[in-house]
């Protein structure tokens, strides 16, 4: 074993300082996990605990989140993956991104196709923001500037979990809320702008050459099942796994099924 998950490590890259968790054996195939917005590497603890039996698992904080610092944009996040792998002396890895993490994974595989052996896209999509979605991001920014993160966090929480899981106030629900509220306001604002300005990747799907798995919570309201189905239909040979009783945070809401889907896909 390298490190139990939860033990934070740090690495300096060319344009960023990154905090990350690592679990598993150095000689095992690598999976790199990329968190969504506005979360951090902790959202992957349940994957590191289970999947590190067979894989070397790495989950890092994107700049602005957790202990990481550096530029905030989808392009710089994608470039950072290449830099991170270079500094860690990892030639190839499976990449697993949830939501914004999926936007980043898709851009990274377009820019650095030789780096990735497998693509795992969870609760994500390839479209760019519509004008309406952009407008919504900028009005959210106005609310945050006036009121801070509390109102934003409450509204956001209702959209990312099933109603049942939110009501049950599971410990992962509390952790995610605490993560959102402890994120710097300027990071949340900068990321909302980065999300609004991100490029589409739908036109790249047909060129994907690596085995791909699409996972989506059946009750996802943010990146709904029809987006997962579009990825599935347009990435050559892709597999899809829809998880019942899960919304946008499918890895937290259905960890056993989520981990099993990844293990089956990679083994």
Residues that bind ligand MLT (CB under 6 A): 36-37, 99-100, 195, 222
**CA dist., res. 57 & res. 22, Å (int):** 6
Cβ-proximal residues to 181 (8 Å cutoff; 6+ apart), any chain? 149, 150, 153
Residue (99 or 183) nearer to ligand MLT, CB: 99
Residue (5 or 125) nearer to ligand MLT, CB: 125
**CA dist., res. 112 & res. 156, Å (int):** 32
Q: Closest approach of Cβ 256 to ligand MLT, in Å? A: 21
Residue (24 or 81) nearer to ligand MLT, CB: 81
Query: Treating both helix axes as pointing N-terminal to C-terminal, what angle do 185-196 and 100-111 enclose, rounded to 10 degrees?
Result: 60
CA distances from 158 to 91, 165, 170, 197, 234 (A): 39, 10, 14, 25, 30
Q: Closest approach of Cβ 36 to ligand MLT, in Å? A: 3
Q: Closest approach of Cβ 17 to ligand MLT, in Å? A: 22
Q: Closest approach of Cβ 260 to ligand MLT, in Å? A: 22
Placement of tokens 């033990």 in the chain: 7
Residue (36 or 64) nearer to ligand MLT, CB: 36
Whether a cis peptide bond, with omega within 30° of 0, leads into 106 is no
Q: Closest approach of Cβ 156 to ligand MLT, in Å? A: 8
Residue (58 or 100) nearer to ligand MLT, CB: 100
Residue 34 burial by Cβ neighbours in a 10 Å radius (0-12, 13-18, 19+): buried
């Amino acid at each position: 074993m390298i490190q139990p998950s939860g033990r934070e490590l740090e690495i300096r890259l060319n344009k960023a300082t990154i905090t990350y968790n690592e679990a598993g054996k150095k000689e095992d195939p690598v999976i790199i996990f990329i968190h969504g917005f506005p979360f951090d590497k902790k959202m992957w603890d349940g994957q590191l605990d289970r999947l590190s039996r067979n894989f070397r698992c790495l989950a890092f904080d994107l700049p602005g989140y957790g202990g990481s610092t550096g530029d905030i944009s989808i392009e710089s996040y994608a470039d950072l993956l290449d830099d991170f792998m270079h500094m860690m002396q990892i030639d190839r890895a499976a990449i697993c991104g949830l939501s914004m993490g999926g936007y980043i994974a898709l851009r990274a595989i377009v820019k650095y196709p030789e780096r990735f052996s497998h693509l795992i896209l969870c609760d994500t999509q390839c479209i760019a923001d519509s004008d309406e979605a952009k407008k919504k991001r900028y009005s959210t920014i106005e609310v945050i500037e006036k009121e801070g993160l509390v109102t934003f966090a409450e509204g956001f929480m209702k959209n990312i979990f099933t109603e049942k899981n939110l009501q049950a106030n599971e410990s992962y629900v509390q952790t995610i809320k605490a993560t959102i509220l402890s994120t710097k306001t300027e990071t949340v604002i900068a990321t909302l702008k980065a999300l609004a300005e991100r490029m589409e990747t739908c036109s790249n799907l047909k060129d994907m050459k690596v085995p791909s798995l699409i996972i989506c919570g059946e009750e996802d309201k943010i990146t709904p099942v029809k987006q997962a189905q579009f990825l599935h239909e347009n990435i050559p040979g892709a597999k899809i796994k829809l998880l019942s009783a899960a919304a946008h945070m499918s890895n937290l809401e259905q960890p056993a099924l989520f981990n099993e889907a990844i293990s089956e896909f990679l083994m």
